[in-house]
Amino acid sequence: MADGTDRGLGNLVMYQVYPRNHSEEGTFRALEADLDRIRDLGIDIMYLLPVHPPGKKNRKGSLGSPYAIADYRTLNPELGTMEDFASLVGAIHQRGMKCVMDIVYNHTSPDSWLAKNHPEWFYRTSGGDFGNRIGEWWDVIDLDYSNPRSGLWEYQIETLKMWAKLVDGFRCDVAPLIPLAFWLRAREETAVVNPRCLWIAESVEPSFILETRARGMICHSDAEMFRAFDVCYDYDIFDAFKKYLDGSGSLAAYAEGINAQEYIYPEGYVKLRCLENHDQSRAAFSIPGGAALRNWTAFAYFQKGLTMIYAGQEWRNDFRPSLFERDPLRRDADGDISSLLRALYRIKKDPLLAGSGYEVRVLPGDMLMGVHRPRMHSSGETAPYRLAGIFSLRGTGGSVSLDSAEPALDGTYLNLIDGSSFRIEGNRLSLRGEPVIFRIPRGSPGK
């Protein structure tokens, strides 16, 4: 992990929002009016999808992708003015939250300000034309970072410094495609104007890394990205998650991937934990059934790392909104799980979640048991308990043996999610199909 990364990030929850589709108005002002409700969910960080103007050439859809940016230093006028944006960020800060903005530095729209004014900063095809190296991204052209002295690095870093005076951090789109040396320099120089700037890398799937490298392109691994970034996506295991859901993979493979993160990444690593985002199917679509979805949601909060909720997840939206058209959120009171998110947020604040030794085990009946164990500090002090969670990922109930995960836990415990009590007898627990999170006091067997 990067020098200076705050380990307290593991106690935080981030809310991803697409301003253009968050409301009927699709403006900064309309989003600002919704901040009290959002904060009440238990949110520490607001993450805004790109707020810059999209290009017009080769547009996808009628409005264009927010990731095909025309000018990094201006705002999409459809969202509002700079005054409106500053008001939104100020209102986020007034409510005790931080604001992270999306940075898309691998490519621009074909008609971007940079393409017109600095065409020498762009990748060229064998025929000498603008182009991109990822075929399905046909609405963008790639920048070329191969020459640190071309002027591109300086321009991009100055742009980051400009925005860092206002916002609290950056989520960097497909960050592994850009040289690590650029990110290290950008982090160092941006710290001059914002020493506490938060850096989140949209790291990529292992298959994408291998395919991209085979084409002769730069594509950094998560372990490399942690040198410059505070947080990396958990796309290294997301494929195993999706394969379990669709039946083509096992729960054991997913659990093995989670456990491997404890030894392949630096001490104190922070992974971004989410069930959905703007690039992935909605959790309510992929995980049908209210009980199963509640269990997966609780597991996302219980996991070691920074939890992210995608706007609309609190209403169990089951459609992925279009990036290229007006497609406002559906605010369905019947699907509202806000009370569950608030309860899980209180658990997320447990200090143990940010600095534990973490392990998950597969239990019979498509269940996972996760345990956060305290680490010894230099003072010799440790937390006086372990934190355990049991999650029925199909939302089914029944009696389950804990022998394979934690031995000899007989006793009465408090479910921290809803305040109910339950017993473990003969190291078996009878579940109703709902998630259970509880503390195991120091001195209990199996410590």
State the virtual CA torsion across 52, 92, 306, 187 in degrees, nearest 10. 60
Reported in sequence order, the residue ranges of 75-166 that DSSP labels E, i.e. its strands, are: 98-103, 107-108, 141-142
| Confidence class for position 408, pLDDT limits 50, 70, 90 | confident
| Confidence class for position 199, pLDDT limits 50, 70, 90 | very high
**Average confidence (pLDDT) over 124-148:** 92
Beta strand 98-103 pairing with 107-108: unpaired
Q: How far apart are CA 328 and CA 23, in angstroms?
A: 6
Phi, psi dihedrals of residue 287, rounded to the nearest 5°: -125, 75
Q: Which of 12, 83, 93, 15 is nearest to 48 (CA)?
A: 15
For residue 447, being part of any structural domain is answered with no
Q: How far apart are CA 64 and CA 58, in angstroms?
A: 8
| Confidence class for position 358, pLDDT limits 50, 70, 90 | very high
Q: Which amino acid makes up residue 192?
A: V
Same domain membership, residue 237 and residue 252: yes
- CATH code of the domain covering residue 210: 3.20.20.80
Phi, psi dihedrals of residue 438, rounded to the nearest 5°: -150, 160
pLDDT of residue 443: 67
Same domain membership, residue 316 and residue 389: no
Task: Please give the helix or strand (H or E) that residue 36 lies within, else none.
Answer: helix 35-40
Buried b (16+ CB within 10 A) or exposed e, 2-34: beebeeebbbbbbbbbbbbbbbeebbbbbbbee
pLDDT of residue 90: 98
Same domain membership, residue 315 and residue 167: yes
For residue 266, being part of any structural domain is answered with yes
Classify 369 in phi/psi space as left (phi over 0), alpha (psi -120 to 50) or beta: beta
Same domain membership, residue 295 and residue 432: no
Sequence-ordered list of residues with C-beta below 8 angstroms from that of 17, at least 6 positions apart, any chain: 31, 38, 46, 47, 48, 49, 311
pLDDT of residue 159: 98
Task: Note the pLDDT tens digit of each residue in 19-34.
Answer: 999 999 999 999 999 9
Expressed as residue numbers, the domain containing 418 is 359-441
| Cβ atoms of residues 31 and 336 within 8 Å | no
**Average confidence (pLDDT) over 291-318:** 97
Phi, psi dihedrals of residue 132, rounded to the nearest 5°: -135, 155
For residue 217, being part of any structural domain is answered with yes
| Confidence class for position 405, pLDDT limits 50, 70, 90 | confident
Q: Which of 312, 328, 354 is the last residue of a domain?
A: 354
Q: What is the mean pLDDT of the chain?
A: 94
pLDDT of residue 136: 78
Q: How far apart are CA 155 and CA 148, in angstroms?
A: 11
For residue 78, being part of any structural domain is answered with yes
Same domain membership, residue 13 and residue 129: yes
Same domain membership, residue 395 and residue 309: no
Q: How many domains does the chain have?
A: 2
Same domain membership, residue 214 and residue 168: yes
Same domain membership, residue 133 and residue 20: yes
For residue 446, being part of any structural domain is answered with no
pLDDT of residue 446: 42
**Average confidence (pLDDT) over 431-441:** 95
For residue 366, being part of any structural domain is answered with yes
Q: What does pTM read for this prediction?
A: 0.96
Please give the share of the chain, as a percent, with pLDDT higher than 70.
98
Q: Which amino acid makes up residue 200?
A: I
Task: Note the pLDDT tens digit of each residue in 41-58.
Answer: 999 999 999 999 999 999
pLDDT of residue 447: 41
